[in-house]
A and B are shown apart, each in its own frame.
Chain A
């Protein structure tokens, strides 16, 4: 409910990976209680009615947890609010008459599929290179047989809340994936279960990260500032420490 508001949109349109894109301008009637993606639903219904192509964008859970939604809104991944994904951003964060610019994630490692959708397969390949504990089903000991102090469990959990959306990469001027990699390395290096592969893991993941074409970290901190799950910058410091330690040990 609430009042109706008019939003002017400048949206990146790109047919596929092999074509160049351009901004198109649209105008949408929105309501302050709508989510940003619901505003896009309204735009798309309008476009379909007019016989035009709707805007392709990724989204799924619309609860801020699946990590699928991915728009750069007025130059910021997931828009102007701290600690929320695009699907949890509501139109009350904008004013009647605002012009809003919407682009896909910006990074060579995330090629555009169409309009605002990108391919984030690189993240999966980084996890496949080492972001796991090698334990087959059926070989686990009783869950309470290894006690884990609460503060360690909490630190691991905080790092594990990463949703793999890629906002960190998009926010970074170097398109670095160190916040994403640091989060997984921190989770598993904190926990006793992750110790056996601690050194080989970090080296493998960093190698894969480089192979995917992500840039290096220059400690600007934009990643942590834009992370919708507020993963702290300290995971990058931890990633560096873990990496050097592994290298010193000849991994």
Chain B
């Protein structure tokens, strides 16, 4: 199989403009006769579904939650990047492009990333027009802050709940189209099979999660906007229901899976507190604007953090990376935290945590500025804390509340304790420049695809990519395919392809229900997560990965012998839903290990212990691995590797340095 990236010819900065001017259009009368299925209603799905419906296509949208507004994009906290240069700090489309390529450790496709940077500015305009209440300055202009891996302020935000506000904007646009009858919404529905006719995606089999019924839905094209698969690790910052099932069924129907081992471990999450823990909670990267990360200089220092004097603290990020300090990219900050904890300097009861401390900026930065503003000369410490606290509260109030709620400690008084956790998956379905997978008519948008973030995603870029794909990319690129489909009449759902796909789905469900063993689905998921975290997590090596593959195979076998799913198929049965998802994770986990094992280098979030510099930094092998690994499913847990070479024509590949 030859992978065609379909990157347009021409100079980088003109590719997208030229593409838009030359891509075939579908006239309004024909659009009305074309059906598009959108699976998932997060930022990518809701923005795509609403925009395509506005254009005149007939859209059916699906989500497994009880409402499209619940998609996990809602939980994104810190912000969204855009190259607006409102702060006059030298930002530009090129700089956003460059930062994203470098942040991704030179493992993403130049043309896709440049397009992303180009449309980033339109996203902010669109969201503001929808009534998204971004943070503003007193003069009424939009406010910005910094995120990791950049030296400009280009992140737009709405307190610590930017994802919520952006998703509610996209959701309102989607609901508007539902009200107008242009989108038919199917909530509490899960896609469990892709239907292909003559090699093209022509629909899906969805399961109604309330009644258990299987439904057949036809579409001239199918868009998967189903998010990432971080829950393969069991504990992650993803929502409980986030899963790989739709993407995995697409993969088994012929769509290639690209760079599946590229996982983002987020440096600042609330540490695990007990074995019962069901998920991990993120503390936004934006906190690193004002929080300083440190551990005690002495091993096993059991003093309370506020009793450890300044000179006995190791601000290890500021020490190791003076140019970027606490705002190094996520992969680097996570590894540095792991290094300190592994070396015995960790804090808290488990010793697997570091401090994120706001005291200095609360008093020295905000407190002092506010005191000056109010004409208080020589303010004492208590005054500075009180004044600074107000500003910190305004910027991060909801995050501080959440931290207190979970840990029962007040982060205004004591530093937060944080540790890295699985957060995002850069890997995903392989797509070309048009966001089409290797199956014609099947597209993947947002986190579900692999295309823009290389081996490490920069903060505040996930929201940007989801909305770019949905609002501004797919509405153009889908025309390239659908313009050739205007003569295709809707295929009746009693076509044999639908019957066969439904039978596959039904057989699988009956197989799972028929096992009636002794172990809960949850227990398998937890065990898989532990294997993945220990052996395919923040650090990987050949021996561990080979072991993990065998362990996952054994666990999968056991699952199909001993899992117990209560209830029946024809009712609301969350345990059955979960069983289907965990079954897919048990296959994906193995592929991730193969991917990590074959990539004999370290890059971004993929850290192979065999490949590191003397200082412990990731060591890439550009000669052999400046490429995408795209895996083709060859039946029963068997895969064939294809490569897409990445050509850097505009950026010179360098050793990534944030020192």
Contacts and interface: CB of A to CB of B under 8 A. Distances in A.
Interface of A: 1, 15-16, 31, 33-35, 37-38, 41-42, 45, 47-49, 51-54, 56, 58-68, 83-84, 88, 90, 92, 113-114, 117, 119-121, 123-124, 127-144, 146-150, 153-154, 156-157, 160-161, 163-164, 187-188, 191, 193-194
A160 B168 contact: yes
Interface string B262-289: 0000000000011011110110000000
Contact of B70 (A51, A60, A84, A136): A60
Contacts of A141: 125, 129
Interface string B113-156: 00000000010111111110111111111100000000000000
Nearest to B130: A133
B477 interface: no
Nearest to A41: B278
Sorted nearest first, the 5 A-B pairs with minimum C-beta distance are: A147-B140, A128-B179, A140-B129, A132-B172, A157-B133
B406 interface: yes
Contacts of B475: 137
Interface stretch (B96-104, B482-490, B571-579): B571-579
A120 B188 CA distance: 11
A132 B127 CA distance: 12
B575 A144 contact: no
Contacts of B164: 65, 161, 163
A127 B175 contact: yes
A59 B130 CA distance: 28
B72 interface: yes
A140 B123 CA distance: 9
B27 interface: no
Interface of B: 47, 50-51, 54, 65-70, 72, 74-75, 84, 86, 122, 124-131, 133-142, 158-159, 161, 163-165, 168, 171-173, 175-176, 178-179, 185, 187, 210, 239-241, 273-274, 276-279, 281-282, 349, 401-402, 405-406, 408, 471-472, 475, 518, 520, 522-523, 564, 566-567, 571-572, 574-575
A177 to B, nearest CB: 14
A134 B53 CA distance: 13
A19 to B, nearest CB: 11
Contacts of B179: 128-130
Contacts of A124: 67-69, 175, 178, 185, 187
A217 B155 CA distance: 40
7 contacts: A16-B572, A38-B277, A38-B278, A52-B566, A90-B406, A121-B66, A188-B131
Contacts of B74: 61, 65-67
A150 B65 contact: no
A5 to B, nearest CB: 13
B490 to A, nearest CB: 25
Given A147-B139, A157-B158, A164-B69, A117 B572 contact: yes
B66, B173, B176, B475: most-surrounded residue (chain A CB, <10 A): B66
B452 to A, nearest CB: 20
Contact of B276 (A41, A62, A63, A84): A41
B172 A127 contact: yes
Contact of A157 (B68, B75, B130, B159): B159
Given A124-B69, A127-B175, 8 more contacts: A54-B575, A61-B70, A127-B69, A132-B131, A134-B176, A137-B472, A160-B165, A164-B69
Given A34-B276, A140-B125, A1 B349 contact: yes
A191 B131 contact: yes
Given A53-B566, A124-B69, A140-B122, A62 B129 contact: no
Contact of B178 (A15, A16, A128): A128
B219 to A, nearest CB: 20
A90 B131 contact: no
Contacts of A60: 65, 70, 72, 239-241
B276 A42 contact: yes
Q: Which of A58, A65, A128 has the most CB of B within 10 A?
A: A65
A178 B179 CA distance: 20
A137 B54 contact: yes
B54 to A, nearest CB: 5
Contacts of B139: 147
A12 to B, nearest CB: 15
Contacts of B405: 64, 84, 88, 90
Nearest to B165: A160
Contacts of B138: 149-150
Contact of B274 (A1, A64, A191): A1
A48 B575 CA distance: 10
A113 B349 CA distance: 42
B571 A16 contact: yes
Contact of B141 (A33, A137, A147): A147
A71 B513 CA distance: 29
Contacts of A51: 564, 566
A165 to B, nearest CB: 10
A140 B125 CA distance: 6
A127 B274 contact: no
B183 to A, nearest CB: 10
A194 B70 CA distance: 23
A31 B125 CA distance: 47
Nearest to A58: B66
B534 to A, nearest CB: 21
- Residue among A15, A38, A66, A187 having the largest count of chain B Cβ atoms under 10 Å: A66
Nearest to A55: B574
Contact of B75 (A33, A63, A120, A153): A63
Given A48-B566, A193-B128, A132 B173 contact: yes
A201 B231 CA distance: 40
B172 A133 contact: yes
A132 B67 contact: no
Given A128-B179, A153-B135, A153-B136, A62 B240 contact: yes
A61 B75 contact: yes
B337 to A, nearest CB: 21
A67 to B, nearest CB: 6
A134 to B, nearest CB: 7
Contact of A48 (B128, B185, B241, B520): B520
Nearest to A49: B520
Contacts of B401: 83
A15 B66 CA distance: 18
A160 B239 CA distance: 21
B67 A120 contact: yes
B572 A67 contact: no
B158 A144 contact: no
